[in-house]
Structure 1
């Protein structure tokens, strides 16, 4: 009789631990919509009296605030918040689509390929210099015209350029967003923030530009150092660049070959430069809004395509491809706007700023300016529009500055810094989320990447504010 083999107990197989996966940005934004909907049952409704402000725009009267009957968000209000957000943010959404379409035309004409090729050769032996050159250029443009949304314009060009230089998509998004946000934060002549705030505060428009220029230098210098350190990290870890290349669809852009262009393509490139300068002129002198800019980019795509020799069908196909590329970014803008829609429908925005102003006014005068910075940064989560925030908060912060003994100029700088800092991290900032979506970067990866620089900028901002307060930075 054959002996039976002893039965050995089998150890239970352990299930592999699931790695934490950062939620999709839609999930994050919908959670915020739900939280603000629930908050409408807790935060009492209230409103400030509205009066006519600079350029006929309505702003609050800080002396007249009343609590009103609450209008909490119901089920149907919650379900329609995102669609209403899409409608409310339609101008920015269409602006995003037109940028995507216009730049796909530029790509299909070969102009972007040629430009990337030339820049790569120019900086091939000193590629690290591309970082300060681009940061200074883009930040100065934004500091004067106040359009951080141009980050959306830069990213489609920067991605192939950075990868061909041996960097990755994060570097491309970093250059675009750090430059535009830094320029917006320390704006010299931004009409929507500095200009409007100076009119509300009855200061000489764009006064104090010298001190803000010093702030701009400090902000951009820190951004340059931050990105150079990241570039060194990429050089030591080429696998990071390979991964970025795998995740990028347009791999053919990065093949090592020279690009030549025809006379018509050269003429089209010249048209691009002229029209870009024209856009800056329109924003700076005529304060073009998003609808006008969207129409301008539509015209740019059509004109450049025709000059380059493309047919009507080819231009149309290019626009369709561009629309598909930026669809996620455009949708994010609308979903993010749903948070503000909930607050507007429940009428709790004014109550929040009323409560925040009381917290700031209770602080010691020596650190009131830091409280203003924190308040402006927090409020930007709810109202990510710079001009909209100025019309809501400046009528309160200006008299508060007079009471606590700081200057109005300093109060406006606190608004600029708080608004600018939060623009590069808050998911409710539509253009920022659209930019990282266009670059194919998740919100979690971006937050981890930018956090050290955000802390450095916060410290720099606090130092400049405390100095401004101590020297009674004027004119008032």
Structure 2
């Protein structure tokens, strides 16, 4: 890091570049990437046979897969097919339906989209109030900008919330704060984003007691929820230090020097700033409690963020007009997230409409076959890794795949616990980089970081985690986990 750091760098001003490479490069808009994936999904409905499983609710019935007849001629591309719930024949997705899937995806995800917009608005109010800048100035003044203390503590806290309580959407509030922290130290937005996303995804990979994944996956294969904790703890204990080491490597790559004395302002905060920071901390704590106790969903969360915005503006002494302007400005910064979420959901709609998703699952199940426990476990891992792109929902992927993969794995000598482990590792790994994951897209939007820049940044760590996951999975098979 240069020795002439400017501690007054504004929160909205990126440091020496918002990408992870020193040479500026033209970024592909992530919406373009997702739009391409939508039309690739449409093409799949013509080249992949259609079929379906019977279901009890959202859980598929093993052995119930049947192929559906389908006219996959290119004349269907320009038709407007009439679909009814009791159709016995499949139809590929037409060009018209592919375009319609995009607004349908936005409509289907409207709750999540509004939650993201209201979160951005709340942070816009906090930013206008000056509380974030003042709080970070105080924090860095007290710690002398010692990232070798800050980074491990922050990553431990974020990963614990994820792996023990299944926290994910709650971190959208934290991302802009960490981006501001990185900017204050002369680092680009993507470093602040990584401070949250890397530990969050490590927590999801391990899922020691995450109810989001385990409450669905384990009962399907006949296991008590939260059982078999040992190997999940091992994944967490191994991967978290690797993630911290990766972040230290990133800091060195961007020029951080531990010998640099950072002269940040460590004066006491004003009463208004202090009160708003206390309210933010209490608000996040209550959010975690309410989400786990009352299972708040998107509508309740949006209302909560709106109420906090009013509270922050009042404490800061912002007038009604100024508070509204700050809220709208904050919403505008994350508006692209709404489009991204709609496009990601459109991929699922297209595959579901063309009845090819169950066919892909069935094909992967047959590829697993009976090749011995180690190869079968690895086959399940790679299958889950690929299916995360098509079914980014944790509970949705568990509901579709575990009833099929679980029994097949047992026939090859793979225990139900190891089957769940393969699901957690495969799903969690792809979720670090998947362009169809609405959760990841929301965090990227909050940090104002493009998907392409993030993919290049995180790929080395992803490959290391993949090697660790394979080693852990083989160990699980060998020890009879």
Normalising TM by the smaller chain, what interval? 0.7 to 0.9
Does structure 1 retain, via aligned residues, the 8 Å contact 2:140–2:264?
A: no
TM-score normalised by the chain length of structure 2: 0.85
The aligned residue for residue 393 of structure 2 is 385
Residues of 2 paired with 1:378 and 1:115: CA distance?
42
What is the CA deviation profile of residues 380-424 of structure 1, one whole-angstrom value per residue up to 9, with x for unaligned ones? 101111111111111112212321211111111111111111111
Between 1:110-119 and 1:371-380, the stretch displaced more is 110-119
Any residues of structure 2 matched to 1:350-365 within 5 Å, and which?
350-365=358-373
1:394 aligns with 2:414: no
TM-score normalised by the chain length of structure 1: 0.86
Aligned match for 1:33, one of 32, 38, 46: 38
SS in 2 for 1:376: helix
Does structure 2 retain, via aligned residues, the 8 Å contact 1:162–1:171?
A: yes
**1:20: how far off?**
7.8
Q: CA RMSD in A?
A: 2.3
Between 1:314-323 and 1:174-183, the stretch displaced more is 314-323
The aligned residue for residue 185 of structure 1 is 205
The count of aligned residue pairs is 435
Residues of 2 paired with 1:207 and 1:175: CA distance?
30
Residues of 2 paired with 1:381 and 1:278: CA distance?
33
**1:181: how far off?**
0.9
The aligned residue for residue 59 of structure 1 is 59
Residues of 1 paired with 2:170 and 2:435: CA distance?
18
SS in 2 for 1:202: coil
**1:261: how far off?**
3.9
Residues of 2 paired with 1:306 and 1:20: CA distance?
42
Between 1:192-201 and 1:279-288, the stretch displaced more is 279-288
1:346 aligns with 2:366: no
Does structure 1 retain, via aligned residues, the 8 Å contact 2:144–2:263?
A: no
1:410 aligns with 2:415: no
The aligned residue for residue 53 of structure 2 is 48
SS in 2 for 1:46: strand
Any residues of structure 2 matched to 1:99-114 within 5 Å, and which?
99-114=119-134
Does structure 1 retain, via aligned residues, the 8 Å contact 2:144–2:264?
A: no
Residues of 1 paired with 2:311 and 2:169: CA distance?
22
1:286 aligns with 2:300: no
Residues of 2 paired with 1:286 and 1:403: CA distance?
40
Residues of 1 paired with 2:216 and 2:267: CA distance?
46
- 1:66 to 1:441, Cα distance in 2 relative to 1, 3 A: same
**1:125: how far off?**
5.3
Between 1:212-221 and 1:120-129, the stretch displaced more is 120-129
The aligned residue for residue 231 of structure 1 is 251
- 1:156 to 1:22, Cα distance in 2 relative to 1, 3 A: closer
Unaligned runs of 5+ in 1: 1-18, 53-57, 238-253
Does structure 1 retain, via aligned residues, the 8 Å contact 2:136–2:181?
A: yes
**1:256: how far off?**
5.9
Any residues of structure 2 matched to 1:148-227 within 5 Å, and which?
148-227=168-247
Residues of 2 paired with 1:314 and 1:255: CA distance?
32
The aligned residue for residue 74 of structure 1 is 94
What is the CA deviation profile of residues 61-81 of structure 1, one whole-angstrom value per residue up to 9, with x for unaligned ones? 112112222211112102112
SS in 1 for 2:225: coil
Any residues of structure 2 matched to 1:238-277 within 5 Å, and which?
257=265, 261-277=269-285
1:462 aligns with 2:467: no
Residues of 1 paired with 2:164 and 2:256: CA distance?
37
**1:22: how far off?**
4.8
Residues of 2 paired with 1:176 and 1:125: CA distance?
18
Higher alpha-carbon Rg: 1
Residues of 2 paired with 1:401 and 1:126: CA distance?
48
Unaligned runs of 5+ in 2: 1-23, 69-88
Residues of 2 paired with 1:369 and 1:103: CA distance?
44
